[in-house]
Amino acid sequence: MSLKVLVGCKRVIDYAVKIRVRPDKLGVVTDGVKHSMNPFDEIAVEEAVRLREKKLAKEIVVVSCGPAQAAETIRTALAMGADRGYHVDIPANQMDTLQPIHVSKILAKLAEKEKADIVMLGKQAIDDDSNQTAQMTAALLDWPQGVFASKVDKDDQGLTVVREIDGGLETVKLTLPAVLSADLRLNEPRYATLPNIMKAKKKKVDKVTPGDLGVDISPRIEVVSVEDPPVREAGQSVADVDELVGKLKEKGF
Ligand code: AMP
């Protein structure tokens, strides 16, 4: 059986950018800041492309829910080897209140519409660090989930997934269809080559709204305040253990 894989790719502030809190303290500065595909989603795309290269997958459909610029994130995934895409249009001013439950509902609808066999996501988006979307998408679809995957193998029964869990690795067998989320060690994503970037421009991207899919994205949270982490106090060097013990005693430890 050749599988159809739906991959979720979020456009996030690039991991190397120093994040700045907005003056109104209701979010972080995004204007004029470099954005990229969420790094775990690059791993998810890579895994889907490898499944197709092994002739286990027949089609890779990428989905990004975001403002106009999310189209660039979709093109990156298409240049890595995905076949076509959905841009789910979210106005920029609604991104702050777009929550994993909204994205999960959108992904679940598209998975049903596309009759996907695997929904492949990143384990977490590095902007909000929610780590909820894969789990909730699986729950909404009532499909098995293999989250924090560091190895995925297919056999006649379904998938065998090695998961990174606290203190070790867990191996689970899943029937298809299933939802997976990619952990860091699953693979090393490829860079898109120039010819593939050119080819990606011709691939099909459908633009839809959450409303088209019957999903209500009205805010369920209100951001009350966003703060910088407290600045760490400067440390002190000590010459030896005796001096360290002396200083600790002075401070009442
Ligand atoms: P999160 O639960 O927000 O940490 O996100 C986990 C994964 O869900 C991400 O790595 C993506 O694969 C997917 N995801 C989250 N938000 C979006 C989005 N706006 N568009 C597409 N996929 C998303």
The verdict on the CB of residue 100 being under 6 Å from ligand 1 is yes
**pLDDT top residue among 249 and 1:** 249
Q: How far is the CA of 33 from the centre of ligand 1 (A)?
A: 20
Is there a domain that residue 115 lies in? yes
Query: Domain span at residue 141?
Result: 3-227
Mean pLDDT of 236-253: 92
Each residue's pLDDT tens digit, 99-158: 999 999 999 999 999 999 999 999 999 999 999 999 999 999 999 999 999 999 999 999
Is there a domain that residue 234 lies in? no
Residue type, 251: K
Q: How far is the CA of 191 from the centre of ligand 1 (A)?
A: 21
Each residue's pLDDT tens digit, 161-206: 999 999 999 999 999 999 999 999 999 999 999 999 999 999 999 9
CB 243 within 8 A of CB 249: no
- Give the span between the Cα atoms of 203 and 126, in whole angstroms: 27
Q: How far is the CA of 100 from the centre of ligand 1 (A)?
A: 7
Q: Give SS3 for 109.
A: helix
pLDDT at 73: 98
- Give the span between the Cα atoms of 223 and 79, in whole angstroms: 35
pLDDT at 180: 98
pLDDT confidence tier of residue 96, bands split at 50, 70 and 90: confident
Is there a domain that residue 111 lies in? yes
Helices (H) and strands (E) in the chain, counts: 6, 11
Give the CATH number, domain containing residue 11: 3.40.50.620
Q: How far is the CA of 54 from the centre of ligand 1 (A)?
A: 26
pLDDT at 37: 98
Is there a domain that residue 238 lies in? no
pTM, two decimal places? 0.92
- Give the span between the Cα atoms of 250 and 28, in whole angstroms: 41
Q: How far is the CA of 29 from the centre of ligand 1 (A)?
A: 20
Ligand 1, atom 19, lies closest to the CA of 65
- Give the span between the Cα atoms of 229 and 19, in whole angstroms: 11
pLDDT at 91: 95
pLDDT at 251: 86
Rg of the chain over all Cα atoms, to the nearest angstrom: 21
**pLDDT top residue among 252 and 188:** 188
The verdict on the CB of residue 37 being under 6 Å from ligand 1 is no
The verdict on the CB of residue 66 being under 6 Å from ligand 1 is yes
pLDDT confidence tier of residue 208, bands split at 50, 70 and 90: very high
Is there a domain that residue 248 lies in? no
Helices 100-114 & 133-141, crossing angle to 10 degrees? 50
Residue 21: Cβ within 10 Å count: 14
Each residue's pLDDT tens digit, 31-85: 999 999 999 999 999 999 999 999 999 999 999 999 999 999 999 999 999 999 9
User: How many residues are listed for the chain in this entry?
Assistant: 253
What's the farthest any 2 CA atoms get from each other in the chain?
70
Is there a domain that residue 123 lies in? yes
Mean pLDDT of 208-230: 94
Is there a domain that residue 172 lies in? yes
Ligand 1, atom 16, lies closest to the CA of 10
The verdict on the CB of residue 210 being under 6 Å from ligand 1 is no
DSSP for 127-171, please give it.
TT----HHHHHHHHHT--EEEEEEEEEE-SS-EEEEEEETTEEEE
Is there a domain that residue 246 lies in? no
pLDDT at 116: 98
The verdict on the CB of residue 121 being under 6 Å from ligand 1 is yes
pLDDT at 20: 95
The verdict on the CB of residue 130 being under 6 Å from ligand 1 is yes
Q: What's the number of domains the chain is made of?
A: 1
